[in-house]
Every structure is written in structure tokens, then in C-alpha cells.
Chains A and B, each alone.
Chain A
Amino acid sequence: MNPILVLGAGPAGLSAAAEIAELGAPTILVEREAYLGGNPKRWHYSLLAPDLRPSDEILGPLIAKVEGNPRVQLHRSTTVTKAERLPKGFRITLKTGDALETQEVSAVVLATGFDHFDSRRKFEYGYGRYPDVLDFKELEGMIHDDRVLRPSDGKPPRRIAWILCVGSRDLQVGNPWCCRMGCAVSIKQAVEIRQKHPDIDAYVYYMDIRTYGLWEDLYWKSMQEYGVKFIRGRIGQVTLAEGGSQLLATGEDTILRRPTEVPFDMIVLASGMEPGTGTQEAAALFGVPVGPEGFLTPNLSDMNPVDSGLPGVFLAGAATGPKAIPDSVTEGMGAALRAYQYARN
């Protein structure tokens, strides 16, 4: 059997490669970056929702399963530049630095993931101009290193606001979908900060809270145990507050039905998920249809969410739409099984 190609080594790709190896088949795991772990590693995610376990505790074992595994051929800092269809599988060209290498593979799992929305595109929040307006992925790193300080002056903040749905559910930036993660991750960040620094006030501005399923517990606890405050209404603009050392968040409190203007030391933007560059390239390489949002489209998203409908091409993780890590890991397993069945027959 030719090896099965897994493209992308985030949670879904790691899970898929580990399972294929477990099934006894050879795997080529290709990752564009020099490290394994995808976005969670790239942005140094801290604790993961909903169980508040350190991301390393989840990614670590997954990485350990593929690193040094004799059935997993690992290619870091590598991209696939060409894919020719064979009667069964593909002949692919791998590019590492300037070196090109051709391999035949029997099936493909596309686990190319997502990119965080670039918050500079939501002009009204001044991200990129005001140093104390942060993207929540940057705050993850700060929490991870326990250095939650204002970038402008290095001082600890007293009041932090989270703005949900930045680059999600918003036609003004062209992204009408929900990122599924922003609520839970923002609340989790507020909880982590309140745990370590009870003197910091945490406000979450929301239009809906989507901590679906059992994650709702996190939302409740954040209020019951950690005193995180929730204000229903969006912040429409961020400007410099009087004196210039704080930021002024202006919005509508839609419950009290009036405009609000509140100064904050730090404002955190819950940036949404967009189809990653790798996902767009994979769609073109393997001819997988993409939906209007730009994510890969499964053939039957309800019956078989990991099948592309094209022979030998399987999908996993956030490449098909915003997804949590547990879901991505599950899809990696499913895609591994389907790819193995295809390759074996």
C-alpha cells in the first residue's frame, strides 16, 4: 500500500496521522510550519475550553504519537506544490526549502485548518494602531506566560473588555458565519485572568453567548465563581479615552436600551476563523469544492462529514468550517478510518 498523505499537522492532522499509523498503514504528514500543533502551538494557546486543561496536555500526547513513529514520515516546513491523479491516489510533489521530492500516495486527508481573522480589517476597533487593543490569540500567549500587561506601558491592567464576534457574523467584513469558539475562549480567558488576578475587572460584550452543549457550564461558572460581567450589546468603536492612557469602548447596552461609553485599560478582540491559506491552496490542488465562505465542502456534511466526494480525498478539522479541538481530533480519526478503507481496497 502506498502511504496516505495527511496535509496539515494541527489537532485534526495529528489525530489522523496517529490513527492511520495505529491501523498499521504508512503515512506522510506534511506541515507548512517548522513545528507541529497548528494554530494552538502557533499562538501558544493557554488552557483549553471547556475543561481548562493546558493545551500542551492535549497536543503533547498527539505529537508524541507521530514523532518518531516509524510508520509516520514527517515533513516539516514543507508544502505540496503539485498533485496528479493516479488510478488510485495521487502523485504529489513536496517542496522543502528549494528541494523538490515526488511521492505516490494512495489517499489524502486534508487537515489544512483555519486562520484567525485579521482584526485590522475591522477598522473601527483600531487594532494595529492602539497598542492596548489586542487580538485574543495574543492574550492567550500572555496568559500562558502569566504576563498580562498593557503593551503600551507594561503596566498591569485594571479593567479588561472582551469584544466577541470580531470578523464573525459580520457582512461588513464579508464573514457571515459563527466561529463557534470565540464565546468559550473569551470567557475562559476572563476566568483564567480572574483566577490569577481577582483585582482585574472583566467585562464581556456579546450579542449572543454560544457556549453550546456542556460548555454552558463554563459560562455559568464564570459569573457564579469568578464574577465575570456580561453586557448584552456590541461595541461599535474604540477610540482614545480622555487623557489618552485608556481606551474608550462605545456601544449600546441593548438590555438597558441606551448607548454606553466605558474606559478600559485593555480591549480584547475575539477574532473569528477564516479558511486558512493552506485550505485555499489544497482546494485548488485537489479540486475540492469550496462553499461561499471559502471552506472545503464535504460531499454529505450530515451523513459523512469527512468525505469530499472525490475518490481518495478526505477532510478533517477546521478546513471544512470553524471547529473546536475535540471535534477536530474526532474528525481526524474518522478521516483516518475512511482513508485507510479506501487505500486498502
Chain B
Amino acid sequence: MLSANEIRKVVQERNQHQKGTGKKVVDVREEMERLEAAGEIVIHRIRPENRPVEVSTLFGWKKRIPTDRLWHHKSCGQCGNIPGYPSSLLWLMNETGRTYLNEPHQTSCTAWNYHGTATSNPVALAAVAARNFHRAFETGHFPLIHCGTSYGDYKEMRKLLVENATVRAKVRDVLGKMGRELVLPEEIVHYSEWVHVMAPEILARQKHRVEGVVATVHEPCHYYKMVPEDAVYDESIYAGQRPAVPSGILMALGAKVADYSTWYDCCGFGFRHILSEREFSRSFANLRKIRPMVEEAHADVAITSDTGCVTTLDKSQWIGKAHGLPYMLPVLSDVQFAALTMGAHPYKIAQVHWHAASAEALMTKMGIDWKTAKAEFREYLQALKNGQAPELLHPAHGEIETFFAINKGQVLPDEAPAAPAGAGGRSR
């Protein structure tokens, strides 16, 4: 009922945000340019070899999403208990011919711990962010953030580092002690944004039709509620009123994306609650998310784009049976779903067996022969047990990298201006 032009006007009007107060939202990227010119920071720029695609954000600002030569900033929760999440993403990159680094030289953002226990502080969080930013920079690969909380935290920390000179000085000092310097990426990019702009290439390789699949989307809070101006919106998706990811890729693939009453609710993860207050997490997930998804929207699958959300929504359902909530709605990330439609192996790649709610009925509906795949996987496990080398998506790392964050002859970004000595100058 709204024309694209009308929506565009409305979205751009939000650009005139918070006028008349000291809390006007400024485009942090413009401030970064000024800081770089003053020699205070180095900007890790998106370069032509990153093959960026432009999208719009909340206020109609432009954001460039790099699609190639990426540095995977993994998620501790995904790798810990939903490994099909990162492996599907790596597989998609292989299939679409994208290059990347998946290294042991990354820490988590530590924000799960901060939001759960507060045993940290913003200066430490900013230093952790900057440490990982610099590691990506020195490899010449652009950081791609897998986790919604890491993405939200890094957006917050980049803003803090730009706006607060005291924190900036402290962080630069800490980095200096490990031979690193203060580098901020031109854009903080969430992997779901990569999936979103890769839609044409994913569609071109789609093997399984999903027209009959009803999906309900859970939008991860830290994707769009933290530093909201960085989240991607598109006029053709929810009339530009809700984020474009991960709904966009589902619509593009042909699934029916259904609305439900608790769309804006969080999943119940709570950072602390998922570990030590699980009565809350599972009550919230079952009563406030899964039940409406099933009973209102008759969903075949819940799709989300963050670690904590997949964990909470998926793992909380098994116990639901004891409370008369016997749903077992499969919960997948957008990237697992996309990989499955492209013919990825459900067990070797999408690793669906790590999910508490079975995806088998869904896969049947998608026309995937999971029974054969399951038998293959069972054989593969036996082969591994008998000492066969595992199948890998990328070459393994050598023993030296167990210890050292070496640079394996990767090209350093050569366009970054050298900062003056004493102001975070290059330590080479």
C-alpha cells in the first residue's frame, strides 16, 4: 500500500533524527574520517577486491557490504554448540568462489560474558574489539562478524572509540604493548548482511524449492536494537519498517515469511539466564516465541540470524513437552537454510544433528533426501573413528599457529596512511 518512493522519503526523514538535543545521531563513519586525518586511527577500508555491494540502513544511509576476501570473526556459541552455523557459511563461500581466512588468531568479543556477568568494562570490551580488528587488518582480510552480539558490541565499541578520546587513548596504549595499533573497520558487517547481498548468487544455485515452507523470523535483538542506525533496511521488505535481514533471503528463496504477534520479543537468552536461570529462558522461548510461531503462524521452521537465538529457541523446546508445549519447531539460521536449499549435506555441512528440534520433517518438505545423507554421515563417523582424515572446507593450520598469530605472507593493506609516530604509528 506504500510506494517505494513514499517509504524512501519516510526512511530518509528519520535521518533528521533527534534534532534539538545534544543526543543527535551522527554518522560515526564521518567522524572516523576526521580522526584518521588527524592521525588518531587507521581505517580498515573496503577495497575493490572485497567486491562490496551497497545497501541502505535505518536512516537511508548507505552501507557497503564486502563479499570477498573476508576474515571470519567466529561466534563462541555457534562454534560451541551449533557448528553447522559457521560450517554452512564457509561452505557457501566455497560454493560462490569467495576467499577468506578462518584462523585460530581470534578471541570472542567477550560481550556474552559482559552482558551476563558484568565482570568486564567498556574499556576492556573496546580493547578486545580493537585487538581483533587489528588482526583482521594485518591479514588484509575484511572482518565478517558471525554473532549478533559481537556485531552489536563492535558497533557500540567502534562508536565509543570514536566518541571518547580517553577510552581511545587507553586502548591505543594497551594495543601498543602487544605491537598492535588502533584500526577501525570502515563498516561493521554481520554475516547475515553478506547472505542478504549474496541472494542472487544463492538463488542461481538453488536446488530445492521452498515455496511450500512457512517460515517465522526471529529478529536478533543485538542486530537492530544496539546502534540501530547501522542495521540494514529495505523498502521492499516489511515496507522498510523492520530489518531486511534475515527475512530478505527467505523471501528471495521463495519461502512464505509469516507474521506473528510477538515478533519484536527477544528469544529469552538473557546472557546470564541461558546458563544459570534456564527456567526463565525456556519459559520465555516456549511461551512467547515458539507457541505464537506455531499456533498463530503455523510455521514449518523458525529462522534467525544469531547464536543465542538459535540456541535458546532450539534447545528450550525439548522440555516443553513436560509443560504441554510439544512443538519441536525446527530452528535454523538463515545460512543453514540457504545452504540446505543449495544442496549442502544436511549432516556434514549443516550439522543439523546438533539441533534439539529435529529438522527432518522440514527437509522432507523441502525435497531433501536426508535418510540417505544420514546413512552416509553414519558411515563417515565410523571412518573417522577408524582414523580416516576428516573432510575440510579449507586447508588445516600448521602447528606453529597453535602458538603464533603469524602472517602467512598475506598482503597487508598498502593504502592505509601511516599514522605519525607516537599516535599509534605502524609498528613495523
Contacts and interface: CB of A to CB of B under 8 A. Distances in A.
A294 B19 contact: yes
Nearest to A171: B18
B421 interface: no
Interface stretch (B73-81, B139-147, B235-243): B235-243
A129 interface: yes
A174 B10 CA distance: 13
A120 interface: yes
B27 to A, nearest CB: 15
B296 interface: yes
Interface stretch (B186-194, B259-267, B269-277): B259-267
Given A120-B7, A121-B14, A123-B241, A239 B19 contact: no
A121 B292 CA distance: 27
Given A123-B241, A129-B238, A242-B295, A174 B261 contact: no
A292 B16 CA distance: 11
B20 A174 contact: yes
A118 interface: yes
Interface residues of A, number: 27
Contact of B242 (A123, A241, A261): A123
Contact of B20 (A126, A176, A239, A242): A176
Most B CB contacts (10 A, CB to CB) among A120, A129, A240, A291 go to A120
A243 B296 contact: yes
B264 A242 contact: no
A131 B1 CA distance: 9
A173 B241 contact: no
B13 interface: yes
B21 interface: yes
Contacts of A208: none
Contact of A174 (B18, B239, B295): B18
Interface in B1-24: 1-2, 6-7, 10, 13-14, 16-21, 23
B25 to A, nearest CB: 9
A173 B14 contact: yes
Interface string A116-157: 001011011010110100000000000000000000000000
Interface in A154-197: 171-174, 176
Contacts of B7: 120, 128
Contacts of A131: 1
Nearest to B58: A123
A248 interface: yes
A22 interface: no
Contacts of A124: 264
A293 interface: yes
A245 to B, nearest CB: 12
A43 to B, nearest CB: 18
Interface string A246-274: 00100000000000010000000000000
B160 to A, nearest CB: 20
Nearest to B2: A128
A118 B242 CA distance: 17
Interface in B21-42: 21, 23
Contacts of A293: 19-20
A207 to B, nearest CB: 18
Interface residues of B, number: 27
- The DSSP consensus for interface residues of chain A is loop
A12 B397 CA distance: 76
Contacts of A301: none
A129 B239 CA distance: 7
B242 A239 contact: no
Contacts of A248: 261
A293 B21 CA distance: 10
Most A CB contacts (10 A, CB to CB) among B14, B241, B292 go to B241
Contact of B241 (A126, A174, A241, A292): A126
Given A126-B241, A129-B239, A241 B17 contact: no
A125 to B, nearest CB: 9
A117 to B, nearest CB: 10
Contacts of B13: 118, 121
Given A120-B7, A121-B13, A241 B261 contact: yes
Given A128-B241, A129-B241, A241-B261, A121 B20 contact: no
A81 interface: no
B259 A173 contact: no
A128 B241 CA distance: 9
Contacts of B259: 239-240, 244
A176 B21 contact: yes
Given A120-B7, A131-B1, A176-B21, A240 B264 contact: no
A292 B19 contact: yes
A295 to B, nearest CB: 11
Interface in A219-247: 237, 239-244
A118 B292 CA distance: 31
Contacts of A118: 10, 13
B53 to A, nearest CB: 24
B295 A239 contact: no
A171 B23 contact: yes
Nearest to B9: A118
A244 to B, nearest CB: 8
B281 to A, nearest CB: 18
Contacts of B16: 174
B21 A240 contact: no
B26 to A, nearest CB: 13
B2 A242 contact: no
Nearest to B238: A129
A105 to B, nearest CB: 32
Nearest to A261: B261
A239 B263 contact: yes
A292 B264 CA distance: 32
Interface of B: 1-2, 6-7, 10, 13-14, 16-21, 23, 238-239, 241-242, 259-264, 292, 295-296
Given A172-B18, A240-B296, A242-B292, 13 more contacts: A120-B2, A128-B7, A128-B241, A171-B21, A174-B14, A174-B16, A174-B19, A174-B20, A239-B263, A240-B261, A241-B261, A291-B20, A292-B21
30 contacts: A120-B2, A120-B7, A120-B239, A121-B10, A123-B241, A123-B242, A126-B241, A128-B1, A129-B1, A129-B2, A129-B241, A172-B17, A172-B18, A173-B14, A174-B16, A174-B17, A174-B18, A176-B20, A176-B21, A239-B260, A239-B261, A239-B263, A240-B261, A241-B261, A242-B261, A242-B292, A242-B295, A261-B261, A291-B20, A292-B20
Interface of A: 118, 120-121, 123-124, 126, 128-129, 131, 171-174, 176, 237, 239-244, 248, 261, 291-294
